[in-house]
Structure 1
Amino acid sequence: MASELGQLLKNIEECREKMITLATHSSMADDKVVEASTKLDTLLNKYFTLTSKENLY
C-alpha cells in the first residue's frame, strides 16, 4: 500500500507540474490545461479515498 501511495503522489506532482507549465504558456481555459486539471482532480480524489480508508482502520 505504501508503494502505491508513493507512486500516486509522484503522479500527482508530475500532473500538477504539467498543468502549471501548460497554463503558463496558454490560458486556464485551454483544452490541454483543462484536461490536465481534470486528470489531477481524479488523482487527488483517488489519493484522498485511499488515505481516508486507512484512517478508518
Structure 2
Amino acid sequence: MSSLKQLTNLQKEIEQLRSKMVDIATIYGYTSEECIKISQELDGVLNKYQFVKKKVKKCPHNKHLY
C-alpha cells in the first residue's frame, strides 16, 4: 500500500475512533474503562499517522503535497 493511501486510511480510522470515543464518553464519562481503551487505541493510530506522514514528507517526489 502506498504511503499516501495509508495516510488516507489512517485519517479515516482516526475520525472513527474520535467519534466513537466521544459517544462512549457522553454515555459513560471520559474516565470510563471503555473510553480510556479507545483513547489509547487512538493514540497508537495518531502515532502511526505521524510516522507515515514524516516518511511521506521526506520522499522527494511528494514535496508538492506540503
TM-score after normalising by structure 2: 0.79
1:3 is displaced (CA, Å) by 1.7
Question: Partner residue of 1:33?
Answer: 35
List alignment gaps of at least 5 residues for structure 1.
none
Identity %: 32
1:39 is displaced (CA, Å) by 0.5
Question: Partner residue of 1:22?
Answer: 24
3-state SS of 2:56 partner: helix
CA distance in 1, matches of 2:53, 2:35: 27
TM-score after normalising by structure 1: 0.90
The RMSD of aligned alpha carbons is 0.9
List alignment gaps of at least 5 residues for structure 2.
60-66
Q: How many residues align?
A: 57
1:56 is displaced (CA, Å) by 2.0
Structure 1 segments of 4+ aligned residues over 4 angstroms from their partners: none
- Specify the structure having the higher radius of gyration (Cα): 2
Stretch of structure 1 that moved more, 2-11 or 28-37: 2-11
3-state SS of 1:6 partner: helix
